Amino acid sequence: MISTSQGRLQDRRPLSIIDIGSNSIRLVVYEGLARSPTLLFNEKMLAGLGRGIVSTGKLDPEAVTRSMEEFRRFRALSNQAGAEHMYVLATAAAREAVNGPDFIHRAEDVLKTEIRVLSGRQEAHYSALGVICGFHPANGVAGDLGGGSLELIDINGEAIGDGITLPLGGLRLQDMAKNSLAQAARIAREHLARAKLLKGGQGRAFYAVGGTWRNLARLHMEMTNYPLGVMHHYEISADSAQNFLKQVTKAEIEKVRGIEGVSKNRRSLLPYGAVVLQEIMAAMQPSKIVVSALGVREGFLYSLLDEAEKKADPLISAAEELARLRSRSVTHAHELVEWTGKAFAAFGIDETEDEARYRQAACLLADIGWRAHPEYRGKQSLNIIAHASFIGVDHPGRAFLALVGLFRHEGVFNEAVPEIRGLATPRYLERARTLAAMLRVVYLLTAAMPGVMPRLKWEPRPNGGLALVLPAALADLYGERPAGRLAQLARVTGRRLVLAVEGGPSVSVK
């Protein structure tokens, strides 16, 4: 009998999605159906099914042949990964080509399952659900650029407006424009004039979905020496986006810095993606461009969740999963959430909704580096958290979480902080030190095990002081080391603090 590793969540049942697009075909096996989806296996091929569809009306014959071979492989890989369900979605090229129905019939024979050929409206809807899944909350216009089409849809929280599908996918636009970027711009402008919803997006975010736009964002990261290579929730200001897109459309794409990180098959489509984004920005006047790593596939998975699961916080869900997988005690992690909430209240530290969420996530992640050598626990925690596949958190928030992990292990006054520090706001940096200082105190009283924190109390003292009080039954935990850590917390917060035992000794620290 083959058992799964303890590094996987035992209550999850894998499922897979095959996404048949106009340019690429991708197999993704997920660990299970969850609010924050985790990839178990991921493979794609750039088939180019939609290449030439404008002039022929048909799927590319060579691409069809190659795809059938890949479908056999994808089916076998899905089985090998233990996927209990396999969903197959097909988009623009398959639904519009003259030979699309024949292609779908052949593919269903190979895959031995039904293929859902999404209408343009369905594709836009699932793209919107993907953005809703990935942001907390989303507010703006989402645009999903594929090889054959562009889907645009308005999103405000969980409310989804009417979507529109336009024939502006990279492969199709390149074909329609006969390799002329100037002609491509004119075509895009004409079609986008039909997208009245863009006017309602003025001053709001534009959520960029799709491989072409993700690769453009990666080039922007290279050009600006951005310190964090995480694509989801990467933000580009409107001014910076305009200047960057001009460079991409005017320069030779092979000479753009960072282009070696983009597959050669995708490079030729980047200028067309840039042209479409330029015209969207001209029509919409967004406040910023926000990259979404989640799209139709994740939106489809999100649609399968029950209502309670949909309402769960994706960041907290993912952080709890890591706590279950990597911490010494997930119960202790939950106690940290409650205890630090009370500590913030005792110290008079106010929190916005996001700051409270980020504090909770940081507590759940506080012990995930414990198996590393003590000298490297801080760096390992920072790297895991900074680069984890979290959703529902922006990059400044991600920097906050990572810095709490670093400071909790390496000390709150450690100045050897990596470049990611620059992403955290001054307020987040201060909060990270404060929260880490609290964690450093309480870990010395709990030995990373549950049961102690619910019995600790913060009590006011004269002149704005505070006492951390241990019950008499836990008096043996009182000592120099926790008192020293409390002194560090006093320095960070500027408060007079006391470590005390009920009816017993106390040590005042400054």
12-21 residue pLDDT tens: 999 999 999 9
Same domain, 112 and 135: no
Segment 463-488, tens digit of pLDDT: 889 999 999 999 999 999 999 999 99
Same domain, 28 and 44: yes
Q: Whole-angstrom Cα distance, residue 182 to residue 186?
A: 7
Same domain, 73 and 175: no
Segment 152-170, tens digit of pLDDT: 999 999 999 989 999 999 9
Same domain, 481 and 333: yes
Whether 49 has a pLDDT exceeding 80, the answer reads yes
* Predicted local confidence at residue 216, as pLDDT: 96
Same domain, 202 and 81: no
Same domain, 270 and 360: no
Whether 194 has a pLDDT exceeding 50, the answer reads yes
Same domain, 170 and 197: yes
Find the domain containing 104 and state its range. Answer: 15-117
What mean pLDDT is predicted for residues 44-73?
Answer: 94
Q: Does residue 113 belong to any structural domain of this protein?
A: yes
Q: Does residue 5 belong to any structural domain of this protein?
A: no
Indicate the pLDDT class of residue 510, thresholds 50, 70 and 90.
low
Same domain, 71 and 150: no
Q: Does residue 7 belong to any structural domain of this protein?
A: no
Residue 411, by phi and psi: left (phi above 0), alpha (psi -120 to 50) or beta? left
Q: Does residue 426 belong to any structural domain of this protein?
A: yes
What mean pLDDT is predicted for residues 251-274?
Answer: 83
What mean pLDDT is predicted for residues 197-212?
Answer: 97
- What percentage of the chain exceeds 90 in pLDDT? 88
Exposure string of 394-417, with b = 16+ CB inside 10 Å and e = fewer, is bbbbbbbbbbbbbbbbbbbeeeeb
Indicate the pLDDT class of residue 189, thresholds 50, 70 and 90.
very high
At 427, the amino acid letter reads R
End of a domain among 84, 117, 150?
A: 117
**CATH number for position 228:** 3.30.420.150
Q: Does residue 336 belong to any structural domain of this protein?
A: yes
Three-class secondary structure of residue 389 per DSSP: coil
* Predicted local confidence at residue 3, as pLDDT: 56
Same domain, 187 and 256: yes
Pairing of strands 506-509, 497-501: antiparallel
Q: Does residue 221 belong to any structural domain of this protein?
A: yes
* Predicted local confidence at residue 378, as pLDDT: 94
Segment 394-421, tens digit of pLDDT: 999 999 999 999 999 999 987 766 789 9
At CA 66, angle to CA 65 and CA 70, rounded to 5? 120
Indicate the pLDDT class of residue 4, thresholds 50, 70 and 90.
low
End of a domain among 64, 87, 117?
A: 117
Three-class secondary structure of residue 367 per DSSP: coil
> Which tokens is 252 given?
């030779």
* Predicted local confidence at residue 257, as pLDDT: 81
Q: Are 367 and 328 in contact (CB under 8 A)?
A: yes
Same domain, 247 and 329: no
End of a domain among 100, 117, 134?
A: 117
Indicate the pLDDT class of residue 365, thresholds 50, 70 and 90.
very high
Q: Whole-angstrom Cα distance, residue 165 to residue 149?
A: 7
**CATH number for position 112:** 3.30.420.40
Q: Are 109 and 133 in contact (CB under 8 A)?
A: no
Q: Whole-angstrom Cα distance, residue 197 to residue 364?
A: 40
* Predicted local confidence at residue 187, as pLDDT: 98
Same domain, 217 and 289: yes
Segment 20-33, tens digit of pLDDT: 999 999 999 999 99
Q: Whole-angstrom Cα distance, residue 255 to residue 272?
A: 16
Q: Does residue 331 belong to any structural domain of this protein?
A: yes
Same domain, 90 and 136: no
- What percentage of the chain exceeds 70 in pLDDT? 98
Q: Does residue 462 belong to any structural domain of this protein?
A: yes
**CATH number for position 469:** 1.10.3210.10
Cα-to-chain-centroid distance, residue 434: 26
* CA distances (Å), origin 169, targets 172, 174, 272, 397: 5, 8, 8, 33
Domain total in the chain = 3
Mean pLDDT of all residues belonging to the chain? 94
Segment 286-335, tens digit of pLDDT: 999 999 999 999 999 999 999 999 999 999 999 999 999 999 999 999 99
| CB count in 10 Å sphere of residue 308 | 8
